Amino acid sequence: MSDVLERLSPLFRPRGIVLAGVSSHPGKFGAVAFHNLLRFGFAGPIFPIKPDGAEVFGRPTLSEVSQVPDGAADLAFLCTPAKLNAGLLRACAAKGVRAAYVASGGYAEAGEDGRELERELVETAEELGVALAGPNGQGIVSTPVSMCAQIVAPYPPPGPLSMVSQSGNVGSSFMNYGCLTGVGYSKGISCGNAAQLEVAEFIEYYAEDPDTLATLVYLEGLEDGRRFAEVARAHALRKPLVVLRGGATRQGQRAASSHTGALASDDAVFDGVCRLAGAVRAASVEEAYEAAAAFATQPLPRGPRTLIVTAAGGWGVLTADACVRAGLELIELPDDLRRRIDGMVPSRWSGGNPIDLAGGETRDTIPEVLDLAAAHPEVDAVIYLGIGIQAAQANQFRSGPYYPDHGLDRIVDFHERQDGRYAQAASEASELHGKPVLVATDLALTDRDYGNSGPLGVQRSGRIVWPSGHRAVRTLSQMLRYSRWLSHRST
Amino acid sequence: MSYTLSEHESKRLLADAGLPVPEERLAADAAAAARAADALGYPVALKLCGRGIAHKTERGLVRLGLADPEAVRREAEDLLGLRRAGEESAQVLVGRMAGGSRELIAGLVRDPQFGPCVMLGLGGIFAEALGDVAFALAPLDPPDAEDLIGALQHAHLLDAFRGEPPVDRAALARLLVALGEVAAARPEIRSIDLNPLRIVDARPVVLDALVELEDGA
């Protein structure tokens, strides 16, 4: 096992957890963390510490750390007042704890006294050889061991993503998108004040972690920019890294007696750092999440040649514009592909790219067209628009006053089955031909309550649905940039 | 605090580092300026050159396209008369007019978080207004430099353009790599501006340069 995997293993894959600061008041951090660990079924023993030893959530607690069996826990999760934590760390280490997450506030964020307590905490951790995350952080999630060691929601479904965030709430947002779309997380951590373990260490860990296929990072500031650049590059050479940065438009206090100095904004320099490191920059939480989810679930495009398949005209037109603006190549529809489609649908179809079948499709047309599109040697990527419109009408039929009479029951079944098949066909074509097929529809947002079989089918295939063609195009251009960086760097 | 080398000193430093700098001469008076112009060949450009002199265009310290010794003497005399207090040692820098039309800006800056960074941008007088610039951590290797060139939004301006051949990207990349090496070799340098970096016969030439040093260096 590599050094970083070994060192951070008790943080992400603890055998047992000492939880200090457990309270009988469900509004307190310690009670919330205890609840969340129990609620999601952490796969190991939990040793809640409460000075009076009283039951919490019907479970006994220990009044002192000294009552924890030797070697039974390797992670301490501390929600206790800051001034107690260095002592608790010592008591935990004596029991075999090798990592600690400090959720408590009252440290560097709280002024000079807090800074002193933070220094003492770090010194203690270093003396004991304990890996220290936090303080003043939201917590850790690790789905392989069913661990939700957090003082807030959410707990995302298991999945191929991991995240590290310098803001607890942005970390929650990253994970909430996992809850929304179903493409979930292996691990997530909020760095808090990052007194000892910083973003760079977690990037290194995720680069090595076999459960992580793509990593999301939220950053505001960096102690050591060069180290970040190095670990980001090493990560990107192995797997995709998506970076969202806050404070990017803040004007640096820079002496600018040169043109170069005046032009060297934080944002411009950081852009250069990411470009060279192969880290994909995103401008918003949703953009970052969508890029990471695509990286983790779809093949990379080998080039810019994009083909759009759409169920209706306007979406295709808008998405075609977006492709061109994003620097993707909206190819001329290859002749052989045109002839194949000519043989499948009435002549009113678009005859070009976007492929708009203009309602002329029959039972098997869309699955066949998706397969032909992804298979074609002149196509690097496919964007499929408009899934779910049949199932959306089916829902109107089903919920209206005429159902199930007048033949509505049969058509409802047919429509719902069809959209489910289209979702499956998109994912199968993508996997079979090793090319990205991005499915976009706003029904992903509007039709969640009843589960439209189109977007729901995409989710069942383990992928995300983009809520618009523009957002799919944005992701595709990020995938292309990373793919180019990778091929440039590995030759 | 910091101070800036004269244009001539800046260019000598860059030439020693392997950057392409045109042949130029310093002249202490009008007669010497005319002799320098005779030796370099006409037409020439004159600039007042001394430590701390920046923003030459704004101050009217650049005279372009002078075609004969008479014009050189007259303009040199005029420039020397524009020296301000503290600029008594400034001289006239004489250089041959360069061809080409496309102008880039390149530079070096030490970022507080990331350390030395090389910049490339579309340049000349529009550099800051356009803001089409990209950065790379120094030192850079040749692929990094190629990547930096490609990162400009308007990198296509480096292709064949209005009768001029495409820019020799390898030569431009070598310049950027050399600029990055200066950062490591000369820690006392706080920043460098190469502006403009003119494309002459497909290759970049440093037409003006400003090197800023830490005080006491």
- 3.30.870.10, 3.30.470.20, 3.40.50.720, 3.30.70.360: which CATH number matches B103-214? 3.30.470.20
Q: Is the pLDDT of residue B58 over 90?
A: no
Alpha carbon distances (Å) from A398 to A404, A407, A410: 7, 11, 11
Confidence category of residue B161, pLDDT binned at 50, 70, 90: confident
Nearest to B135 among A252, A264, A489 (CB): A264
Q: Do A488 and B147 touch (CB under 8 A)?
A: yes
How many angstroms from the chain centroid is the CA of residue A185?
Answer: 6
Confidence category of residue B217, pLDDT binned at 50, 70, 90: low
pLDDT score, position A251: 57
Task: Count the Cβ atoms, other than its own, within 10 Å of residue A83.
Answer: 13
Residue B109, H or E segment: strand B103-111
DSSP class of residue A189 equals E
CATH topology for the B23-96 domain: Dna Ligase; domain 1 (3.30.1490)
ω into B43 cis (within 30 of 0): yes
Q: Is the pLDDT of residue A254 over 70?
A: no
Confidence category of residue A256, pLDDT binned at 50, 70, 90: low
Which among B107, B84, B126 is positioned nearest to B175, based on CA atoms?
B107
Nearest to B111 among A221, A264, A275 (CB): A264
Query: To probe the interface with A, which of B103, B122, B135, B211 has the most A CB atoms within 10 Å?
Result: B135
Residues in a beta bridge with A330:
A306
- What SS3 class is residue A156? coil
The C-alpha angle with vertex A432 and arms to A426 and A435, in degrees rounded to 5, equals 70
Contacts of A260 in chain B (CB under 8 A): 105-109, 119, 191-193
pLDDT score, position A413: 96
CATH topology for the A156-297 domain: Rossmann fold (3.40.50)
Confidence category of residue A490, pLDDT binned at 50, 70, 90: low
Q: Which residues of B touch A (CB under 8 A)?
A: 2, 4, 54, 105-109, 111-115, 117, 119, 121, 127-128, 131, 133-137, 143-144, 147-148, 151, 191-193, 195, 210, 212
Contacts of A257 in chain B (CB under 8 A): 2, 4, 54, 191, 212
Which among B76, B95, B56 is positioned nearest to B195, based on CA atoms?
B56
Q: What is the dihedral of CA A148, A153, A156, A161, to 10 degrees?
A: -80
C-alpha span between B122 and B127 (Å, rounded): 6
The rounded percent of chain B whose pLDDT value lies above 90 is 84
Q: Is the pLDDT of residue B62 over 50?
A: yes
Give the dihedral sign, CA A463/A466/A469/A471.
negative
Q: Is the pLDDT of residue A252 over 80?
A: no
Contacts of B121 in chain A (CB under 8 A): 263
The C-alpha angle with vertex A143 and arms to A236 and A454, in degrees rounded to 5, equals 80
Region A410-433 average pLDDT: 97
- Residues sharing a CB contact under 8 Å with residue A236, sequence separation 6 or more, in sequence order: A277, A278, A279, A482, A485, A486
pLDDT tens across A373-407, in order? Answer: 999 999 999 999 999 999 999 999 999 999 999 99
The rounded percent of chain B whose pLDDT value lies above 70 is 99
Alpha carbon distances (Å) from A80 to A28, A63, A77, A86, A136: 10, 13, 9, 10, 11
pLDDT tens across A461-477, in order? Answer: 999 999 999 999 999 99
Task: Give the pairing type, strands B115-122 and B103-111.
Answer: antiparallel
Q: Do A262 and B192 touch (CB under 8 A)?
A: no
Nearest to A273 among B137, B193, B195 (CB): B137
Confidence category of residue A1, pLDDT binned at 50, 70, 90: low
How many angstroms from the chain centroid is the CA of residue B126?
Answer: 15
Contacts of A225 in chain B (CB under 8 A): 111, 113-115
Question: Structurally, what CATH architecture does the domain formed by A1-138 represent?
Answer: 3-Layer(aba) Sandwich (3.40)
Confidence category of residue B128, pLDDT binned at 50, 70, 90: confident
Nearest to B114 among A225, A254, A257 (CB): A225
- What SS3 class is residue A317? helix
Give Dmax over CA atoms of chain B in angstroms: 53
Say if A1-138 and A300-487 have the same CATH topology.
yes
Confidence category of residue A253, pLDDT binned at 50, 70, 90: very low
Nearest to A259 among B107, B144, B148 (CB): B107
Name the average pLDDT for chain B. 94
pLDDT score, position A261: 81
Q: Provide the angle, in degrees to the nearest 10, between the axes of the packed helices A285-297 and A168-181.
A: 50
pLDDT tens across A213-222, in order? Answer: 999 999 998 8
Nearest to A260 among B54, B115, B193 (CB): B193
pLDDT score, position B103: 95
Q: Do B144 and A225 touch (CB under 8 A)?
A: no
Q: Is the pLDDT of residue B25 over 80?
A: yes
The C-alpha angle with vertex A290 and arms to A284 and A293, in degrees rounded to 5, equals 135
For domain A300-487, the question of CATH label 3.20.10.10 is answered with: no
pLDDT score, position B119: 97
Query: To probe the interface with A, which of B4, B137, B154, B156 has the most A CB atoms within 10 Å?
Result: B137
Q: Is the pLDDT of residue A59 over 70?
A: yes
Closest chain A CA to residue B125: A259
Burial, A439: exposed, middle or buried (Cβ in 10 Å; 0-12, 13-18, 19+)? buried
Q: Where are the domains of chain A?
A: 1-138, 156-297, 300-487
Q: Do A263 and B144 touch (CB under 8 A)?
A: no
Q: Which residue has the higher pLDDT, A311 or A230?
A: A230
Q: Do A276 and B112 touch (CB under 8 A)?
A: no
Q: Do A263 and B136 touch (CB under 8 A)?
A: no
Say if B23-96 and B103-214 have the same CATH topology.
no
pLDDT score, position A341: 97
C-alpha span between A206 and A214 (Å, rounded): 8
Nearest to A258 among B113, B143, B212 (CB): B212
C-alpha span between A363 and A151 (Å, rounded): 50
Give the amino acid at A400. Answer: G
Name the average pLDDT for chain A. 95
Least Cα separation, residue A380 to chain B (angstroms): 22
Nearest to A258 among B107, B114, B131 (CB): B107
Q: Do A263 and B54 touch (CB under 8 A)?
A: no
A–B CB contacts, 8 A cutoff, strictly below: 91
Contacts of B107 in chain A (CB under 8 A): 258-261, 263
Q: Is the pLDDT of residue A491 over 60?
A: no
pLDDT tens across A331-356, in order? Answer: 999 999 999 999 999 999 999 999 99
Alpha carbon distances (Å) from B182 to A379, B18, B161: 45, 10, 31
Q: Do A260 and B113 touch (CB under 8 A)?
A: no
pLDDT tens across B11-20, in order? Answer: 999 999 999 9
- Residues sharing a CB contact under 8 Å with residue B129, sequence separation 6 or more, in sequence order: none
Q: Where are the domains of chain B?
A: 23-96, 103-214
Residue with tokens 């292996």: A186
Residues in a beta bridge with A140:
A149, A189
pLDDT score, position B125: 79
- What SS3 class is residue A268? helix
Kindly provide the ipTM of the predicted complex, given to two decimals.
0.90
Region A205-225 average pLDDT: 95
Contacts of A221 in chain B (CB under 8 A): 113
Q: Do B117 and A255 touch (CB under 8 A)?
A: no
pLDDT tens across A39-55, in order? Answer: 999 999 999 999 999 99
Residue A292, H or E segment: helix A285-297
Which backbone phi and psi does A139 adopt, to 5 degrees? 135, -170
Alpha helices, H only, A147-284: 168-181, 199-208, 225-238, 259-263, 266-277
Confidence category of residue A308, pLDDT binned at 50, 70, 90: very high
